[in-house]
Every structure is written in structure tokens, then in C-alpha cells.
């Protein structure tokens, strides 16, 4: 992760500020505010602001006038009930805003979650940094033979070195051309006074997808949990999962009762179809059920048996 001295000073200045408030605050999340938590090689996630807490979810569900007087265990029980039965609107009462630095290809995957407010660093107005994501050796893998959107065996030795060299060289060469076309003189760049630079909005199209961008991403708790249920899953692409795992830490600090229920009912849970449940019922009754007579496809059968630990 790369932060310059100016950015570090800005973060420290923000963290030094405090103000009295009547709204709900969460000490554990307050401690995290503005701090950049590293992700990948140059990325980070920062919590910039938030609204609400576990009590706000409970308050919305009960439509009460103030913060509840019931026991914490009762509030936690209600939150678990809401999440278990997919009563989502109370979770929409809480919001959080993140500042994220991430590779462009991860951002394009992330933006598929269309239920957030997003403002991205504009390469029409500003010059992007010379920073690129290069996978660590353990994440440099071949295409999976069984999953079109997954990875297979990790590349090793000379093959891995050649791939990393290509990724690095292509990114550096593309950025060098980007800087030359701009002719504005970045770090270590020389301006040619006799040449007009290309417009930034055009020069940017030459950059590689592993170039880092940044954005502010604000969402409510319900949609954040949906994002995390997909992107913190073991099947998610590693790079976006790395961001999701750091964001999970902020959720655990912010709304611990909601986080605990989320881990139980989303991250650590599986969903069975009606047909799968019928097969499990037959198995529990002592019947020896095989895939051919189950009414399930081979893929459904394998998924069900894997979830049951019998794959």
C-alpha cells in the first residue's frame, strides 16, 4: 500500500478531530475511521463515515421512538430473526461510506453491485499514479479446466516468472506511453515544450486494467451484506475477496450482533432447493438414494453432497 506524506498527514488530522453528537456512535468503528487498511500490493480500504448501529436495526424493526430498553440478548435475537427470515428493510437504516483504492479490473467487477452510491477518481481531470497490481506468486494460477471463471493449478518456475515479467512490462510500457501522450511531466517525466499533450480523457484509454483507481463507495447495511455474501465467499475471485475480507472487519466492529447473525445465516450457511430437501428427508428416513433416482442433475447432486460433507 502506498500513501504519500500529504495523505498520511491528512489522515492524522482527520483522526485528531472530535465533536459532540447526539447520534449513535460505535467506539470500535470510530477507532477505525479514516485509517487505510492495506489490500493487495498497493490497495486499501478506509471507513470514511457511517450512520446507525445494531440498535438502529432493532429500532426500525420495532418502529420505536428511541433506543431500546430491552436486553442486548433480546436485540440480538431479533436481529437474528430478521436476517434468518430475510426481513431486509431494517438493515437499510444503517449506512457506511468507504474510500477504496483498487485495480481497475476489480472495480469493473465490483460495480456490478448497482445498489451503492459511487464516485470514482476521474482520469479525465487527474493523472493516475504509476501503480499496478501484480499477483503474488501463490495467486498466479492457470485457467481452471472445470470452471470457466475460476483458477486451477498455480504456475511455477520459469513459466510464472515469464508471466509476471509480461504483466509488469506491459503495464510499465503502457504507462510510459500514457505519460508521453499527456506531456504534462509526472514523476521523473520530462515535458517537451514544443509538443501539445493529448487530452487526458483520451490518453487514459491506453492504460492496462491492473492500473489502480480509487473511489468513494457508500451503501446501506442490507446491500453491503449482500455484496459480502457473494464477494467474501470462497468461490469469489481472490482479488475482490481480499477487499471483502477487510470490509468484514469493519462490519464486525460496527454492528457486531448483525455480523454474528450474518456469519451464521449467510457466510456459514448453504441453501437447499425443495428437491434437495426432499432427497435429504429420504436419506434421514433411512432410504439409500442415488443420484440417478434423486431427480437432481449431476451438478446439483454434487453440490448437495459437498454441502453435507459427503462429496
Domain boundary among 161, 193, 209: 209
pLDDT in tens, 139-165: 888 776 666 666 778 888 888 899 999
- Does one domain contain both 111 and 143? no
On the question of pLDDT at 117 being above 70, the answer is yes
Q: How high is the pLDDT of residue 66?
A: 61
- Does one domain contain both 292 and 147? no
On the question of pLDDT at 285 being above 70, the answer is yes
- Does one domain contain both 128 and 195? no
- Residues 42 and 1: beta-carbon distance below 8 Å: yes
Q: How high is the pLDDT of residue 277?
A: 95
Q: How high is the pLDDT of residue 6?
A: 83
- Does one domain contain both 122 and 33? yes
CA atoms of 295 and 305, how far apart (whole Å): 14
**How many residues in the chain?**
311
- Does one domain contain both 77 and 127? yes
pLDDT in tens, 230-253: 999 988 999 999 999 999 999 999
Structural domain count, the chain: 3
User: What does pLDDT average to over the chain?
Assistant: 90
What DSSP assignment string belongs to 113-143?
--SSEEEEPPTTTSPPPS-B----GGG-EEE
Could you tell me which residues come within 8 angstroms of residue 267 by beta carbon, excluding any fewer than 6 positions away? Answer: 228, 229, 232, 233
Give the rounded percent of residues in the chain with a pLDDT score beyond 70. 94
CA distances from 12 to 8, 97, 116 (A): 6, 18, 27
- Does one domain contain both 197 and 258? no
- Residues 256 and 79: beta-carbon distance below 8 Å: no
- Does one domain contain both 120 and 12? yes
Q: How high is the pLDDT of residue 227?
A: 97
pLDDT in tens, 53-111: 999 999 999 886 566 556 777 899 999 999 999 999 999 999 999 999 999 999 999 99
On the question of pLDDT at 299 being above 80, the answer is yes
Q: How high is the pLDDT of residue 218?
A: 98
For the entire predicted model, the pTM comes to 0.90
Q: How high is the pLDDT of residue 301?
A: 94
CA atoms of 122 and 165, how far apart (whole Å): 29
CATH number at residue 42: 3.30.1360.170
Look-up of cell digits 515479467: 165
Active site residue 231: yes
- Does one domain contain both 55 and 182? no
Q: State the sign of the Cα–Cα–Cα–Cα dihedral 206, 210, 211, 217.
A: positive
- Residues 191 and 183: beta-carbon distance below 8 Å: yes
pLDDT in tens, 170-211: 999 999 999 999 988 766 577 888 888 899 999 999 999 999
Catalytic residue among 231, 241, 282, 299: 231
- Residues 248 and 228: beta-carbon distance below 8 Å: yes
- Does one domain contain both 119 and 265? yes
Question: Which residue range is the domain that position 4 belongs to?
Answer: 1-132+211-269
User: 3-state class of 219 per DSSP?
Assistant: strand
Between 19-23, 171-175, 288-292, the lowest mean confidence (pLDDT) is in 19-23
- Does one domain contain both 106 and 45? yes
- Does one domain contain both 151 and 119? no
- Does one domain contain both 172 and 28? no
Amino acid at each position: 500500500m502506498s500513501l504519500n506524506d500529504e495523505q498520511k498527514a491528512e489522515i492524522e488530522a482527520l483522526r485528531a478531530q472530535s465533536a459532540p453528537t447526539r447520534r449513535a456512535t460505535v467506539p470500535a468503528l470510530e477507532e477505525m475511521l479514516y485509517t487505510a487498511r492495506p489490500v493487495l500490493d498497493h490497495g486499501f480500504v478506509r471507513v470514511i463515515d457511517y450512520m446507525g448501529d445494531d440498535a438502529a436495526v432493532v429500532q426500525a424493526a420495532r418502529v420505536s421512538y428511541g433506543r431500546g430498553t430491552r436486553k442486548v440478548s433480546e436485540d440480538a435475537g431479533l436481529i437474528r430473526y430478521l436476517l434468518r427470515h430475510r426481513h431486509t428493510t431494517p438493515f437499510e437504516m444503517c449506512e457506511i461510506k468507504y474510500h477504496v483504492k483498487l485495480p481497475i479490473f476489480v472495480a469493473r467487477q465490483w460495480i456490478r453491485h448497482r445498489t451503492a452510491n459511487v464516485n470514482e477518481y476521474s482520469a479525465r481531470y487527474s493523472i493516475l499514479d504509476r501503480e499496478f497490481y501484480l499477483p503474488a506468486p501463490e495467486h498466479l494460477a492457470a485457467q481452471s479446466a472445470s470452471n470457466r471463471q475460476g483458477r486451477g493449478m498455480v504456475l511455477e518456475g520459469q513459466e510464472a516468472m515469464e508471466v509476471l515479467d509480461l504483466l509488469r512490462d506491459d503495464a510499465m510500457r503502457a504507462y510510459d506511453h500514457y505519460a508521453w501522450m499527456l506531456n504534462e511531466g509526472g514523476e521523473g517525466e520530462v515535458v517537451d515544450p514544443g509538443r501539445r499533450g493529448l487530452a487526458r480523457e483520451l490518453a487514459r484509454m491506453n492504460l492496462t486494467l491492473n492500473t489502480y483507481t480509487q473511489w468513494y463507495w457508500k451503501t446501506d447495511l442490507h446491500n453491503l451484506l449482500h455484496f459480502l455474501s457473494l464477494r467474501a465467499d470462497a468461490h469469489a475471485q481472490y482479488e475482490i475477496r481480499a477487499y471483502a475480507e477487510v470490509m468484514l472487519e469493519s462490519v464486525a466492529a460496527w454492528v457486531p450482533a448483525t455480523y454474528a447473525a450474518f456469519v451464521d445465516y449467510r457466510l456459514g450457511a448453504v441453501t437447499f432447493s425443495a428437491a434437495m430437501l426432499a432427497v435429504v428427508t429420504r436419506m434421514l428416513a433411512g432410504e439409500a438414494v442415488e443420484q440417478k433416482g434423486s431427480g437432481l442433475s449431476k451438478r446439483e447432486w454434487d453440490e448437495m453432497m459437498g454441502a453435507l460433507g459427503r462429496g
